[in-house]
Structure 1
Amino acid sequence: MDDLVQPIIRKLIKKHHTNCPFQLSSALGIHIRYADLGKTTKGLYFRKLRRRFIVINSHLPAEWQRFVCAHELGHDRLHKGISRLFLEEHSYFCPGKLERQANRFAVALLTADLALMHEESMREYYLRAGIPQEMLYFFDT
């Protein structure tokens, strides 16, 4: 998976001169909206009439909104043409796998401009990159 993600991220950063998920989404023509998505949904990505949207839960702290934007951008870049309806009708395609891939994309994007400092733990590195602490459980810390 990382072999797939890294070239995509390098190309995005080289072309748009940023690793900011909000700026990248805007440059790619993805509309960002904020809405009250309840207590369990942090964000979502969808296409409608050839337009692409990222919706972020408006009640999230800024750190989470940034991560969610990067995660949903990962869906746009990695899972083109795969709709939620398709996933639900074809059980061999595991939605959990796609979520893990989008999380890995988000972490790789948000850490793309940072180098691991001498004697810095991975946990400290991820926190310095603005990865929400709750996400550290899913990565080597």
Structure 2
Amino acid sequence: MQKYKVRIYYEDTDCGGIVYHTNYIKYCERARSEIFFSSNKTPNIKTIGFVVKSLNANFISSAKLGDLLEIESKILRLGYSSVILKQNIFLKNKLIFECDVRLACIDIINKKIVRIPDEILNILKGEYK
């Protein structure tokens, strides 16, 4: 399981200081990218990358200006050409947002679904050194 923290700034909120609903999805995207950045890689390796196939989100509570959130990302299923992640966002150890996201591995140039390369599999499994 990968953990990532994000502070809520004014740009993340409405005039009342409440986080815009779409930003929770952005925070999850950042957490997914951080899985690669923590291995000194980028989410795109050569011409291979991931696109969101589907996303199921549940907004439980709100965060506000100044809050520090923790995003946990856990692989639920790692397939031949896709991965399903469970991503939860916590505020002071209280779950405020959850989503399941299915990512498809594609060749960015040809826009075709491809097998997840071993280098990416190793990063996702946490085995990349």
Name the TM-score, length of structure 2 as normaliser: 0.26
Structure with the higher strand share, 1 or 2: 2
Larger RCO of the pair (alpha carbons < 8 Å, separation 6+): 2
TM-score, normalization: structure 1? 0.25
Larger fraction in helix: 1
